[in-house]
Amino acid sequence: MSQDIYQHFRPSERVFIDKVTDWLEKVSDTYSIVVTDFLNPRQYFILQTMMNGYNKDDLQVFTSASIVDTEYVKLILAPSYYELDILDFDLACLQIDFASKFVTLKHAQILGTLLGETGLDRLKIGDISVHQSFAQVCVSKKMVSVFTESVSKIARSGVKISEVSPNDFIRLPEQATNQVVMLSSLRIDKAIASIFNKSRSLAQGLIQSSKVKVNYTEIMQNDFELTTGDLISVRGLGRVKIGQNLGLTKKDKVRIEVQIISSQK
């Protein structure tokens, strides 16, 4: 199956495709359940696409989005007879309280500290929602004590970490605006420059300094070619989703629909 599915996705996604193949075969062959780590929306899309190649009467997929509204989700892949137990998601929510009068914490600082102090993989951490005086983060339930016992300070600020109900997770609302932009090509450096009204050299600098991701994967090539559905994240500037290609203008520029996304704090 993997060889057929490879052609629909980028070569960089083959490792994840192989992992999903192993998951699906395990459930299908051994009738056991698989609980994933946190998957980003692109990975979830790939998994859903691959599910089309299996008998849906034999497999079920449950998402933690039914418990808490997040971008990153945990999935349960299970045989048809399995009845959902939400505890099987191995999901927890932590609240990080800090003195907002003296410090402002950022998403990158929180993520960097949580990973650096615990040595855990990024896949063990889901959404991080940063508010004025506290932040919340979704984690694997089994890892709660690791975080509460290992982290007492973030960016030189003392913090208090405690577990709260997933029902109390507050996701930051997003605002999205749709625009049509003219691009000389779908190279990522040219797209960033045009969409964010920056110079091409600045766009290339952002790429080379590891501040650009496409579909949640870091991109280092200036000539990386974008396609419909790609989500571009540029640290410090925002996120953009590439929409429909509307064809060429008379001056041979590509007319592209884009959705510009920003979180409202």
**176-262: which CATH topology?**
3.10.290
Instruction: List the chain domain ranges.
Output: 5-88, 91-168, 176-262
Q: 263 pLDDT exceeds 70?
A: no
Q: Does the reported pTM lie above 0.85?
A: yes
Q: 264 pLDDT exceeds 60?
A: no
**91-168: which CATH topology?**
Alpha-Beta Plaits (3.30.70)
Model confidence pLDDT, tens digit, residues 191-244: 999 999 999 999 999 999 999 999 999 999 999 999 999 999 999 899 999 999
- What residues does 260 pair with on adjacent strands? 177, 240
Q: How many CB atoms lie within 10 A of CB 119?
A: 8
Contact 170, 131 (CB under 8 A): yes
Average pLDDT value for the chain: 92
For 156-176, what is the mean pLDDT? 91
Which of the four pLDDT bands, split at 50, 70 and 90, describes residue 113?
very high
CATH number of 5-88: 3.30.1370.160
Model confidence pLDDT, tens digit, residues 41-89: 999 999 999 988 776 678 899 999 999 999 999 999 999 999 999 999 9
Q: How many CB atoms lie within 10 A of CB 159?
A: 20
By C-alpha distance, which of 74, 75, 79 is closest to 27? 79
Helix, strand, coil content of the chain in percent (nearest 5): 35, 35, 35
